[in-house]
Amino acid sequence: MLMIEGFLNYLTHERAYSPHTVTSYGNDLREFEAYLANTENVLKTHEADADLIRGWAMELMAAGRSATTVNRKLSSLRTYYKYLLKKGAIAISPMQSVHGPKKKKPLPQFVRESDMERLLDDTLTDDSWQGRREHVIIQLFYETGIRLSELVGLNVGDVDLVRKTIKVTGKRNKQRIIPIGDSLAQNLKVYVEEKDVEFGLSSTLNPQPLFITDKGARVYPAWVYRLVRKNLSQVVTLKKRSPHVLRHTFATAMLNGDAELEAVKELMGHESVSTTQIYTHTTFEELKKAYSKAHPRASINQ
């Protein structure tokens, strides 16, 4: 206990840590000391080894503590043992071979295919060019998986209606070609024609923004974000209702449709296939839910 008090005084007076931080360190160390007392009877913190520290971390996780909380407590121990090294109380820190638990990455949120179909069926509420624009933006996000910045940067010349492709400029100005379906190609064609009539534009004008505001300026991220959020709010109650959710939705739909991981990587413009792999976890979670719900003898802990 004396060593812990000395450490806390060091944090307060020499390192000028806030009272709240010092209290937090003290609570963590006393909790560890109580664990040692229960495990090894009279063992003190400066006598603990890596195995004991790992055992404490495992006990914390088993008690329902989050990875973030356990890592914070281990960080308190790490700082404490550095102090003991500096004071010559120990020859080597037991924390050298101790690694904290990995934080569980949240799965990407996505919209179910049935909800997307309903949204795309209902979005075109009028035949104006603005109604067409709204429909096409949602459809383009869902059917190509492009990023918000990529959609904003699209020009009319990036759309090839003969080959049914769009040319997208992604991160670090890397370009990629993405195929589009017949329905999207037709809707893009009609939208551009109606837009040109509305503003007296020529489709040969280059570069001409593909998506423009009601005043004729290129759309901007906040404008597109609001449009997407408004539309997704019609069919889902997800906390996140952003263009990025539609990007996740595209990837999930592709993998659920048995697309190769490498193909999805190329379509999305990922640098590494490891980035794309997070969506395989999403689809597997869906499979588990479907299996658990449908099979009479299935029992899967979610």
Check 132, 133, 147, 265 and give the catalytic one. Answer: 147
Distance of CA 67 to the CA centre of its chain: 18
CB-CB contact of 24 with 33 (8 Å):
no
Distance between first and last Cα of the chain: 42
Q: Is 35 annotated in the active site? A: no
Check 25, 80, 81, 279 and give the catalytic one. Answer: 279
Q: Is 46 annotated in the active site? A: no
Check 78, 133, 247, 265 and give the catalytic one. Answer: 247
Q: Is 244 annotated in the active site? A: yes
Q: Is 78 annotated in the active site? A: no
Return d(Cα 140, Cα 185) in angstroms, integer. Answer: 10
Check 171, 189, 240, 281 and give the catalytic one. Answer: 171
CA distances from residue 95 to 8, 90, 91, 186, 283 in whole angstroms, order as listed? 19, 12, 12, 62, 38
Catalytic residues: 147, 171, 244, 247, 270, 279
